[in-house]
Amino acid sequence: MLVGAGRARRRLAQAALLAGVLTGCSGAAEDDTKTSASASAAAEAGGASDTAVKSGGTIGAAGSACELPVTFDIAEDWEAEAIDNGAAEEKAADGADASADPEEAELAQEIADAILYQGPVAAACEVDAKPAGNIGFLRVWTGKPGDDDARAVLEAFVAAENNTSKAEYSPFKAGDVSGVEVKYLFTSELLEETKEETALAVTTEKGPVVIHLGGMDTEEHREMRPAYELAKRTLRIG
């Protein structure tokens, strides 16, 4: 019994370590249990999701925090950071090699894959809402050029998340950019809680791009929707 408990604790520790491969911090998990006074106050102030946000600058272009096939504005006080998939994979591999238990090494790799890849795309950038007072991220995922259209890419992205339901897809247009958006529900088996999530996809010559907004819960998600809408409204092919 004690041996099993010890193994479970080691797995949890490994999972926590690998969850930081996106930015080197605990921010990789959307279900962050930490709360802040400002986030709580915002969640209680109904209707905030309809409020416009100021731009905090543009990312995506060469020399910006994240170089992407697209460019878009991020909300004021949100912080963008590029995700180095190569470094993250190397870190996961090092952790797996260091494990004396093949089962734990396999778990480590599975966690890294789950964090870095979702369907046809890989994590490329995350924009942290915590400096603005919310718990969550706007994440950008990119893929290799192919024949799939934006709808197919987005459907594969949602399907890969598992435990999703009530997905509603719709086309959108921003300037000369056309894409597909989805609003759906995700149910966390760990927390036994269902929350709203939103994502959009566009295709470019360099490959598909998915921009996803999660959040700790539905209230946080709705509070952060103006930042997502700003990104969608200003989205341009880079």
Instruction: Residue 153: give its domain's CATH number.
Output: 3.40.1000.10
Q: Quick one: pLDDT at residue 100?
A: 59
> What predicted TM-score, i.e. pTM, was given to this entire model?
0.76
Q: 56 — alpha (psi -120 to 50), left (phi > 0) or beta?
A: alpha
Query: Is 112 inside any structural domain?
Result: no
Residue 209: count other Cβ atoms within 10 Å of its Cβ.
Answer: 28
Residue 193: count other Cβ atoms within 10 Å of its Cβ.
Answer: 13
Query: Is 39 inside any structural domain?
Result: yes
Write out the H or E segment, with its range, that includes residue 190: none
Query: Is 10 inside any structural domain?
Result: no
Q: Which residues contact 166 (CB under 8 A, 6 or more apart)?
A: 184, 185
Query: Is 92 inside any structural domain?
Result: no
Q: Quick one: pLDDT at residue 3?
A: 40
Query: Is 65 inside any structural domain?
Result: yes
Query: Is 101 inside any structural domain?
Result: no
- Counted domains in the chain: 1
Residue 96, both tokens: 């797996």
Q: 145 — alpha (psi -120 to 50), left (phi > 0) or beta?
A: beta
Residue pLDDT tens, the chain, 238 long:
334 444 444 444 444 444 444 544 334 334 333 333 333 333 333 344 446 899 999 999 999 999 999 999 999 999 999 998 765 555 555 555 555 567 766 666 667 777 899 999 999 999 999 999 999 999 999 999 999 999 999 999 999 998 999 999 999 999 999 999 999 999 988 878 999 999 999 999 999 999 999 999 999 999 999 999 999 999 999 8
Query: Is 43 inside any structural domain?
Result: yes
* Residue 136, SS3 per DSSP: coil
Query: Is 13 inside any structural domain?
Result: no
157: containing domain: 30-84+119-237
